[in-house]
Amino acid sequence: MKRKQHGFSLFELIIVLAVLGIISTFAIRAMNGYTNWKYAQDYAAHIERVITQLQQYQYYQVTVQNQDPATVQVWPSNLANLMSPSGQFWPDCSLADEGNRLCTRPDNVPWTTQRLGYTVTTANPTKAEITIPLSAIPSEQQTLWASALKTLPFAVTHPTTGDIKIAIGDPLLSQVYKEFLQKDGSTPLTAAWDVGYQSILNAKQVTVKTQDGRQQQLGVGTVKEFLAQHGDRVYKNSWSCAAGLKQTLHVSLNAPMAPNLSTEYIGLVGFKPYATDRGSYWDLGLVYNAKIKSTGKWKDMHSGFLNVRLNCSQ
């Protein structure tokens, strides 16, 4: 008897190799995606270190060298000046050593031969500003790098180029935020102020600029709406308004309604919803004239529903 031959046919082998090729392609893509993400995170950490060392340099110049924080001398004239043989703020790293991957200079940019942009403002107090040239990255890769770099404090994206600029101020928190907390209103913010999904509490007045250029005060408008009936009360302590605004109450007719099933209207006129101020509360009322079907006579009625709107107004 002849033995049957067992094994893979050529067609089956080709199918297996094709499946393995597809799987390996996805695996390589996933690995490349993770590698690029890790590079972006590492570079964000590098920029954070640059920021920290610039702040330490400024702090040293003010507290030890007694430099006036209003002068540009409290910042290095360029990022290379952070480096020194002692490594106090950044260890020495020549261009040749960086090219051989023996060290990294503070102005390094991994995706281009360009260096970090660096300027010092002349405002009081002065600030250092670094610019990360994201525009030098191919557009399909910018999002990955930007997602890591935009999380850095005070990072602002240029609306046209996509480059990221970071302004670095006094390292003491009380100094970093004093421009926001001690303003007299004469100097506007120069960029977005991200408070990290936290609340701004106890603001006396907040306004926003509308499309026609007017300033619209927030907090003005309807606080609550509900239905009520004749004889109901609305107490003034049931809602409150921001300082400088006053409580106002508006009532309007929602719908008249017969007081019971045995009463039927055949005519309605003269609706008058009202609210009477009693000091600590409002009395709500409704009066209208209804022609009663059973008697054929007109009668003042009060049954029905009112729309009530609680407002804060100027």
The answer on 152 and 22 residing in a single domain is yes
Q: Looking at this protein, which amino acid is placed at residue 174? A: S
Q: What is the pLDDT of residue 269?
A: 93
Distance CA 154, CA 256 (A): 58
More confident site: 25 or 225: 225
Q: Where a domain ends, among 160, 175, 190?
A: 175
The answer on 171 and 92 residing in a single domain is yes
Q: Where a domain ends, among 175, 190, 219?
A: 175
Structural domain for 30, as ranges: 17-175
Distance CA 98, CA 209 (A): 49
The answer on 163 and 240 residing in a single domain is no
Residue-wise pLDDT tens digits, 87-137: 899 999 999 999 998 999 999 999 889 999 999 988 777 899 999 999 998
- Characterize 185-219 residue by residue with b for buried, 16 or more Cβ atoms within 10 angstroms of its Cβ, and e for exposed: eeeeeeeeeeeeeeeeeeeeeeeeeeeeeeeeeeb
Average pLDDT of the chain, as a whole number: 84
Tokens at 215, concatenated: 């300033």
Evaluate if residue 4 carries a pLDDT over 60: no
The answer on 114 and 54 residing in a single domain is yes
Q: Decide if 140 is inside a domain.
A: yes
The answer on 142 and 24 residing in a single domain is yes
Whole-number percent of the chain with pLDDT over 90: 44
Number of structural domains (the chain) is 2
The answer on 104 and 220 residing in a single domain is no
Residue-wise pLDDT tens digits, 62-74: 888 988 888 899 9
Q: Decide if 185 is inside a domain.
A: no
The answer on 22 and 170 residing in a single domain is yes
Q: Decide if 201 is inside a domain.
A: no
Q: What is the pLDDT of residue 26?
A: 66
Residue-wise pLDDT tens digits, 168-214: 887 654 444 444 555 556 566 666 666 667 777 777 777 877 778 77
Q: Decide if 119 is inside a domain.
A: yes
The answer on 152 and 57 residing in a single domain is yes
Q: Decide if 1 is inside a domain.
A: no
The answer on 85 and 225 residing in a single domain is no
- Predicted TM-score (pTM) of this structure: 0.49
Q: What is the pLDDT of residue 213?
A: 79
The answer on 134 and 22 residing in a single domain is yes
The answer on 164 and 71 residing in a single domain is yes
Q: What is the pLDDT of residue 174?
A: 42
The answer on 113 and 252 residing in a single domain is no
Q: Decide if 120 is inside a domain.
A: yes
Q: What is the pLDDT of residue 27?
A: 60
Tokens at 5, concatenated: 């031959």
Q: Where a domain ends, among 175, 190, 216?
A: 175
Q: What is the pLDDT of residue 219?
A: 74
Q: Decide if 170 is inside a domain.
A: yes
Q: Decide if 4 is inside a domain.
A: no
